[in-house]
Amino acid sequence: MAEIDVATNGVPRVRNCGAMEVHERLLRTDPRYVRARIASENAHFELTRLGLVNGRPDVTVIPTVVHVVWKTAQENIDEAQIRSQIEVLNKDFRKTNSDIGSIPGAFAALAGDARVQFTLATTDPDGNATNGITRTQTDKGSFTDDEAVKSSATGGADAWPTDRYLNLWVCSLDGGLLGYAQFPGGPAATDGVVIRNTAFGTNGTSAAPFNLGRTATHEIGHWLNLRHIWGDDGGGCNGDDFVADTPNAADANSGKPTFPHVTCSNGPNGDMFMNYMDYTDDDSMFMFTIGQVARMQACLSSDRPTIGVQDPIRPWPVVRRGARDFPVRPLQHLLLARGRQVAVDGIFGPNTEAAVKAFQTASGLASDGVVAAMTWARMIIAVSNGSTGSAVKAVQEVMKVRDPSPEAVKIDGIFGPKTEGFVRGFQQSVGLTADGIVGPITWRAMVSGMPSV
C-alpha cells in the first residue's frame, strides 16, 4: 500500500501497517481462520440486522499486558512511556481526545464513543501481582510481521492468555513498519498487537510524526475487527470496510491531508482521512465513527466474549457431555437452529457432543465438544418479536424453567407478545435494558445463573 519511506534516523515518514498482510497469510495457510472470519462477519450482520448495535451495556475495561522486547537499552522503554500510551487509548476509545474539535464539521456528528478502556493488568496469569509489563532481552536487532516477537522460542515473549488479556508487544520493526494486528479468529498464541517502539506512547523514544500514540489506537481497532477505512482494494472504489457511515474512499491517505480530499465520487466531504483507520499522521487522526463503534461492540459480543467481562455473576456456563436438563435443552434447540441434527431430550450425550463438535469445526472454533463462552457466543441467534424457529424455542425453554406452570409457556417457536413480555420481565429482573430483544447479553444472562444439573 503506502511505500516504505524511512528517514535517516530510522523513523518512518509514512504510516504502514501489516494487519492485512497477516490477514492474507492466515487466509492462505489456516483453514480454521477462514471459517472463523466467515462466522465473525455473519454474526456481525445478524446483530446489525436486528439493530443490536449497542453491544455491551457498560464500558468494557480490558486488562492489558505490554511485552517490551529489547536488545539495546534504548529499546527497553520506560514505564512512563508505556503509561502515556494507555492514557492515549483511554481518550481515543472514549471520544475524550483533546483534538476531537479538529474533526471537520461535516463529519463531527458521526464520531462515536467506543466505550472501551484499557488498564495495565494487575494480576498475571498465575494470579500474582504485576505492573502489566514484561521485559524480554533478545538477540534480534529487529522483527518483521512474521510473529517471531510473540514467542520466546523465536526471540520474543509468549502471549498471556488471549481470552483474558490484550497483548501488546513493543519492539523494533524492520523497514517502515509501524505495527500490525491480528483480526479476531486467528490462532490464540499470536492474538494481539505489535507496535514499533518509536511509535509507542507520547514520550521516551516516540518520534514524530507518530508520537501521539495513534499507532496503537489504529492497531487495536483492527484487533476489535475494524478494517482500513478505504477498503484495502488497492486504490479502487469497490473495497468495503463493512461500516455504513464511513465514506467510500479510493486509497490510504498519508501525512496531513487538507479537507476535503474527494475520491470515488464521495464529494463534497470526500475521504474521512481523519479517522483512526486511515494512514494519516498521528496529529491528523481524531475519530472512530458510530458505525465503527457498533462493529467493535459486535466483536466484543461475538468474537471476544470473555475479554473485559467484569460480571462473574452471569458468565457463560460451561456445558459438556454428561450434563442434563438446563441449559442442555436450550442448547439443543440452538443446535437445530444452526442446522445440526439433534434430539431435544435434555441429555448431553454422544449425539449432542457430535453436533457441538461439527458446529465448532464449521465456525472455526477448537472442536472439543465443550460448550463454553466462545461456542455460546457463536451459537446464539438474536431474536425478537416476529422471529420464529428453533432459536425462539430455546428462549421458550428458558421461560419454562422460570415459570413451569403448564399454561404459562408453549414451546411453539413463535416469538409473540407473550414471549416478549417474558423477555422484558426477565431483562428487568437482572438489571438489563428491557427492550424485549434477546441479543448476546440477554442470552448470556438467560443460560447462566440457573440450575444446571
CA distance 134 to 41: 34
CA distance 63 to 433: 26
Burial environment of residue 425 by CB neighbours within 10 A (0 to 12, 13 to 18, 19 or more): middle
Contact (Cβ atoms closer than 8 angstroms) between residue 41 and residue 226:
no
Smallest distance from Zn ion to CB 196, Å: 13
Contact region with Zn ion (CB under 5 A), list: 16-24, 137-145, 340-348, 384-392: 16-24
**Residue 120 touches Zn ion, criterion: CB under 5 A:** no
Contact region with Zn ion (CB under 5 A), list: 17-25, 232-240, 345-353, 380-388: 17-25
Choose between 19 and 243: whose C-beta lies nearer to Zn ion.
Answer: 19
Contact region with Zn ion (CB under 5 A), list: 15-23, 127-135, 382-390, 435-443: 15-23
Smallest distance from Zn ion to CB 362, Å: 29
Instruction: Report the candidate in 184, 192, 447 with the shortest Cα–Cα distance to residue 331.
Output: 447
**Residue 441 touches Zn ion, criterion: CB under 5 A:** no
Smallest distance from Zn ion to CB 145, Å: 11
Query: Which residue's beta carbon is nearest to the bound Zn ion?
Result: 17
Choose between 193 and 399: whose C-beta lies nearer to Zn ion.
Answer: 193
**Residue 245 DSSP SS3:** coil
Choose between 37 and 378: whose C-beta lies nearer to Zn ion.
Answer: 37
Integer CA distances (angstroms), 392 to 63, 228, 389, 439, in order: 35, 36, 6, 12
At 118, which helix (H) or strand (E)?
A: strand 116-120
Strand 60-70, strand 116-120: pairing: parallel
Smallest distance from Zn ion to CB 16, Å: 9
Contact (Cβ atoms closer than 8 angstroms) between residue 84 and residue 201:
yes
**Residue 32 DSSP SS3:** helix
Residues 306-365, interacting with Zn ion (CB under 5 A)? none
Smallest distance from Zn ion to CB 219, Å: 7
Please report the sign of the dihedral spanned by the C-alpha atoms of residue 319, residue 423, residue 451, residue 397: negative
Contact (Cβ atoms closer than 8 angstroms) between residue 376 and residue 305:
yes
Burial environment of residue 34 by CB neighbours within 10 A (0 to 12, 13 to 18, 19 or more): middle
**Residue 19 touches Zn ion, criterion: CB under 5 A:** yes
**Residue 195 touches Zn ion, criterion: CB under 5 A:** no
**Residue 88 touches Zn ion, criterion: CB under 5 A:** no
Choose between 186 and 305: whose C-beta lies nearer to Zn ion.
Answer: 186
**Residue 177 touches Zn ion, criterion: CB under 5 A:** no
Pick one of 11, 14, 17, 89: the residue that binds Zn ion (CB under 5 A). Answer: 17
Smallest distance from Zn ion to CB 284, Å: 15
**Residue 193 touches Zn ion, criterion: CB under 5 A:** no
DSSP state of 64: E
Contact region with Zn ion (CB under 5 A), list: 19-27, 78-86, 101-109, 356-364: 19-27
Which of 24, 75, 87, 219 is an active site residue?
Answer: 219
**Residue 432 touches Zn ion, criterion: CB under 5 A:** no
CA distance 345 to 129: 46
* Opening angle at CA 351, ends 345 and 352, nearest 5: 65
Residue 219 annotated among the catalytic residues of the structure: yes
Binding site for Zn ion (CB under 5 A): 17, 19
Catalytic residues: 219
